[in-house]
C-alpha cells in the first residue's frame, strides 16, 4: 500500500496524517499514516514508510484520539430536490422539524396567510409520526386555502395533496388522464379528491415549486454543507431531471460543489436518454437510470404478499387489511429495463414490497437472459420487505441492494405496532439477511425523507433499536465492519466508483471523514455519539477543522 518516496521536492506530500486510519481496503485495513498530494492519496501505511514524504511545504497533522475513514457515501439521495425543499420556497414540516400535529396544522395556516396569491407549498406531512393530523381531503384543503394554491407534500415524497386552486394552476381536471406510473385520487363520482400519487402525478401538481431557479448554486451550496457536516463526500441523485443538466454544469464549474454527485436520470415514456453511461467527470457523472416499481409503506402503495394490519392507523389511512399495489406491471418493468439496459445503462429500481421485488427480479432475470452482461450491478432500492430467499436470488443474478435502514430509527415501532406486525414489520430492512446472502449492499437516507446520517445508519444496522427501545428482529443485526462497508467501499462499488473512492489506497482521491473515535472500537450503543470532526474532499477540508 505504500508509494515509494522520491528525493525530488515535487514528490513531497501536501498533507500527511498520523494516527488511527481505517482504510476499508482489504490489502491493508488499518494504518497509522497517510500522505496526500494534489488531491490524491500517494501513500498509506506505517509511520516510518510515510515520513520520507514530509518536506518543507508539507502540512502534518497528528490525529490524537481521532480516526480517519474514507468519506461516507450516500448512494441513494435526492440532493437537488432536497436543496429546493429545504430552501426558502417550501416550508419544512417534516417530523424531524415539527413533531406535533397541532403545530403542523398551525404552520399550514400561517404559510397560506403569508404566501397569499403566490400560493403555499409545504413538505413533510406524516400522519404516522405526527399523530392527530386531519385527513387532507380536498374539502379540508379548500377550507384552509379557499382562493390560492396550496400543495402539501407527504414526507415520503410519493404523495402530494392539493386544493382546487392548485389543480387549476396545474391544469389538472377530472378528465386529465392518469400518467404512466402515477395516478390522481378520485372520489366515488370520479372527481379529483386532492391527492396525487407517485412522481409523474406529484410533479404535475408541484413541479413548479420543486424546480430550482436562478438560485441553484446557493441552494446546492447549502445542501453540500449539510452533507459535509454528516461526513458525506459523494451522493447519488436518484431522480435527476436532465433539463437541469446545463444549470448543474454551471454550478459545478463555479466551484460551489463540495460533494461529488452521481446522477440517476428518471426513466420516461421515451425510454431513452440524451446522455451516455459515464458522461461527466469525477465530480459530476451520470451513472444510471431510475425506475419505480411500487411506492411508500406509509401511504399503502407497496405491493406485498402479506396484508397491512387492521389498526387505528391503517384505518385512518384507508389501507387496513390491504396488500397495496405496484405502480407498474412486470411487463412494463421488463420493457423499461430492456430499452435502457441495451444502451449500457445501470438501472436502479425502487422496490419496497416483497411482491414488487419478485416482479422486478422476474423481469430482470428475463432481461439478463436476453442481454447478458457480466457486471451489470442492477440495483434494488429500499427493499424494506425483502425476504431472505429474495436476497439470495438477487445475489445469484448479480443484483445489488441499497437498504433504507434508517426506517428503524423513525418508524421502527410504527412498522410493528401499526402496519405489519412483528413478523414482517420487525424484519424490515433486513441487512443481516442481505449479508448472509453474500450481497454487497449499501445504506441510505433518501433525503429529504430523513436527514443524511451515515453514522446513525451504521448504528441502526448494528443495534436495530426502535424509538421505544425494542430490538427489531435481533437476528438481522450485523457487525460494525459490515455496516461501515455499506457506507463506504460497497456504496462506491454500487456506483462503479471503487477505483477512486470508498477506500483509502494510493491513487484514490483523498476524500476523508475524521471521527472523534474509531467505530470498530466503539460500543454499538455509542456509535451515534461519535462526532464528525472534519470532512475532506480531494485533500481540502470542506467541514470542520483538520
pLDDT digits (tens, 9 = 90+) for 495-538: 999 999 999 999 999 999 999 999 999 999 999 999 999 999 99
Question: Coil, helix or strand for 419?
Answer: helix
Write the CATH number of the domain with boundaries 1-71+502-546. 2.30.40.10
Question: Coil, helix or strand for 507?
Answer: coil
Confidence of residue 211 (pLDDT cuts 50, 70, 90): confident
Confidence of residue 208 (pLDDT cuts 50, 70, 90): confident
Residue 544's DSSP bridge partners are 534
User: 37, 23, 27: which is closest to 70 by C-alpha?
Assistant: 23
Kindly report, residue by residue over 278-320, the tens digit of the pLDDT: 999 999 999 999 999 999 999 999 999 999 999 999 999 999 9
Q: Mean pLDDT of all residues in the chain? A: 96
Beta-strand runs (E) in 23-115: 30-37, 40-45, 59-70, 72-77, 91-92
If residue 245 lies in a helix (H) or strand (E), which one and from where to where? helix 245-254
The correct CATH number of 81-210 out of 3.40.50.170, 3.10.310.70, 3.10.250.10, 3.40.50.300 is: 3.10.310.70
Res. 6: pLDDT tops 80: no
What span, in angstroms and rounded, lies between the C-alpha atoms of 115 and 87?
Answer: 15
Rg of the Cα atoms in the chain: 24
Q: State the fold for domain 274-501.
A: TIM Barrel (3.20.20)
What span, in angstroms and rounded, lies between the C-alpha atoms of 539 and 15?
Answer: 7
What span, in angstroms and rounded, lies between the C-alpha atoms of 268 and 290?
Answer: 10
pLDDT at 2: 45
Mean pLDDT of 265-277: 96
Count Cβ neighbours within 10 Å for each residue of 511-523 and write b for 16 or more, e otherwise.
bbbbbebbbeebe
pLDDT at 452: 97
CA dihedral 16, 22, 24, 25 (to 10 degrees): 60
Kindly report, residue by residue over 363-402, the tens digit of the pLDDT: 999 999 999 999 999 999 999 999 999 999 999 999 999 9
Res. 60: pLDDT tops 60: yes
Confidence of residue 213 (pLDDT cuts 50, 70, 90): confident
pLDDT at 401: 98
DSSP notation for 375-408: T---EEEE-TT--HHHHHHHHHHT-EEEE-TTHH
Kindly report, residue by residue over 337-355, the tens digit of the pLDDT: 999 999 999 999 999 999 9
Mean pLDDT of 26-40: 97
Mean pLDDT of 246-253: 96
pLDDT above 90: percentage of residues in the chain: 95
Q: Which residues contact 411 (CB under 8 A, 6 or more apart)?
A: 128, 129, 297, 298
Q: Which residues contact 167 (CB under 8 A, 6 or more apart)?
A: 173, 192, 194, 205
Residue 248 CA, distance from chain mean position: 19
Domain extent listing, the chain: 1-71+502-546, 81-210, 274-501
pLDDT at 337: 98
Output the CA–CA distances (angstroms, integers) from residue 123 to 91, 93, 161, 195, 314, in the order listed: 6, 6, 10, 14, 22
pLDDT at 371: 98
Res. 186: pLDDT tops 50: yes
pLDDT at 241: 94
Res. 5: pLDDT tops 50: no
Beta-strand runs (E) in 46-107: 59-70, 72-77, 91-92
pLDDT at 207: 85
Output the CA–CA distances (angstroms, integers) from residue 285 to 160, 330, 345, 497, in the order listed: 30, 29, 13, 10
Kindly report, residue by residue over 438-495, the tens digit of the pLDDT: 999 999 999 999 999 999 999 999 999 999 999 999 999 999 999 999 999 999 999 9
Q: Is the pTM of this model over 0.75?
A: yes
What span, in angstroms and rounded, lies between the C-alpha atoms of 214 and 118?
Answer: 18
pLDDT at 72: 99
Angle (nearest 5°) at CA 73 between 68 and 77: 150
pLDDT above 70: percentage of residues in the chain: 98
Kindly report, residue by residue over 353-362, the tens digit of the pLDDT: 999 999 999 9
Confidence of residue 180 (pLDDT cuts 50, 70, 90): confident
Mean pLDDT of 7-23: 83
Residue 32 CA, distance from chain mean position: 32
pLDDT at 9: 39
In terms of Cβ atoms closer than 10 Å to its own Cβ (0-12, 13-18, 19+), residue 9 is: exposed
pLDDT at 288: 98
Residue 98 CA, distance from chain mean position: 21
Kindly report, residue by residue over 219-228, the tens digit of the pLDDT: 999 999 999 9
Res. 3: pLDDT tops 80: no
What span, in angstroms and rounded, lies between the C-alpha atoms of 492 and 176?
Answer: 42
Amino acid at each position: 500500500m505504500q508509494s515509494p518516496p522520491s528525493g525530488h521536492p515535487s514528490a513531497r506530500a501536501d498533507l500527511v496524517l498520523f494516527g488511527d486510519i481505517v482504510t476499508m481496503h482489504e490489502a491493508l485495513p488499518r494504518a497509522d499514516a497517510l500522505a496526500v498530494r494534489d488531491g490524491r492519496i500517494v501513500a498509506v501505511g506505517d509511520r516510518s514508510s510515510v515520513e520520507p514524504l514530509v518536506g518543507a511545504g508539507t502540512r502534518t497533522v497528528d490525529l490524537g484520539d481521532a480516526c480517519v475513514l474514507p468519506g461516507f457515501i450516500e448512494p441513494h439521495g435526492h440532493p437537488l430536490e432536497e436543496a429546493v425543499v429545504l430552501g426558502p420556497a417550501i416550508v419544512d414540516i417534516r417530523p424531524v422539524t415539527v413533531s406535533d400535529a397541532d403545530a403542523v396544522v398551525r404552520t399550514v395556516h400561517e404559510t397560506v396567510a403569508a404566501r397569499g396569491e403566490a400560493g403555499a407549498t409545504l413538505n413533510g406531512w406524516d400522519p404516522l409520526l405526527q399523530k392527530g393530523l386531519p385527513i387532507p381531503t380536498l374539502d379540508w384543503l379548500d377550507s384552509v386555502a379557499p382562493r390560492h394554491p396550496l400543495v402539501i407534500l407527504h414526507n415520503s415524497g410519493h404523495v402530494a395533496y392539493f386544493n382546487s386552486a392548485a389543480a387549476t394552476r396545474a391544469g389538472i381536471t377530472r378528465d386529465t388522464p392518469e400518467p404512466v406510473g402515477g395516478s390522481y385520487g378520485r372520489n366515488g363520482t370520479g372527481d379529483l379528491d386532492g391527492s396525487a400519487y407517485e412522481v409523474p402525478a406529484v410533479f404535475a401538481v408541484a413541479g413548479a415549486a420543486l424546480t430550482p431557479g436562478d438560485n441553484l448554486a446557493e441552494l446546492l451550496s447549502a445542501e453540500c454543507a449539510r452533507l459535509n457536516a454528516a461526513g458525506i463526500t459523494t451522493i447519488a441523485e436518484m431522480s435527476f431531471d436532465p433539463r437541469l443538466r446545463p444549470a448543474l454544469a454551471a454550478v459545478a464549474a463555479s466551484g460551489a460543489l463540495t460533494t461529488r454527485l452521481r446522477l440517476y436520470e428518471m426513466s420516461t415514456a421515451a425510454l431513452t436518454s440524451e446522455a451516455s453511461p459515464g458522461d461527466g467527470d469525477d465530480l459530476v457523472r451520470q451513472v444510471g437510470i431510475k425506475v419505480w416499481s411500487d411506492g411508500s409503506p406509509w401511504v399503502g402503495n407497496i405491493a406485498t404478499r402479506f396484508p397491512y394490519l387492521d389498526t387505528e392507523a391503517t384505518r385512518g389511512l384507508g389501507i387496513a387489511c390491504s396488500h397495496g399495489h405496484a405502480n407498474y406491471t412486470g411487463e412494463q418493468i421488463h420493457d423499461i429495463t430492456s430499452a435502457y439496459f441495451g444502451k449500457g445503462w445501470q438501472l436502479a429500481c425502487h422496490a419496497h414490497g416483497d411482491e414488487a421485488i419478485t416482479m422486478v427480479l422476474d423481469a430482470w432475470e428475463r432481461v439478463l437472459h436476453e442481454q447478458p452482461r457480466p457486471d451489470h450491478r442492477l440495483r434494488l432500492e429500499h427493499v424494506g420487505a425483502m425476504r431472505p430467499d429474495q436476497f439470495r436470488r438477487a445475489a445469484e443474478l448479480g443484483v445489488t441492494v441499497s437498504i433504507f435502514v434508517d426506517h428503524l430509527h423513525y418508524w421502527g415501532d410504527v412498522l410493528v405496532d401499526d402496519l405489519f406486525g412483528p413478523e414482517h414489520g420487525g424484519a424490515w430492512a433486513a441487512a443481516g439477511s442481505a449479508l448472509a446472502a453474500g450481497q454487497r449492499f449499501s445504506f441510505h437516507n433518501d433525503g429529504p425523507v430523513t436527514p443524511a446520517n451515515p453514522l446513525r445508519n451504521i448504528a441502526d444496522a448494528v443495534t436495530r433499536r426502535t424509538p421505544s427501545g425494542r430490538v427489531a428482529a435481533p437476528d438481522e443485526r450485523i457487525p460494525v465492519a459490515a455496516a461501515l462497508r455499506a457506507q463506504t467501499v460497497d456504496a462506491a462499488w454500487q456506483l462503479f466508483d471503487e477505483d477512486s473512492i470508498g477506500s483509502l489506497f494510493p491513487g484514490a482521491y483523498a476524500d476523508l471523514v475524521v471521527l472523534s473515535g474509531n467505530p470498530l472500537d466503539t460500543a454499538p450503543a455509542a456509535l451515534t455519539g461519535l462526532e464528525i470532526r472534519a470532512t475532506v474532499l480531494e485533500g481540502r477540508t470542506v467541514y470542520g477543522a483538520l
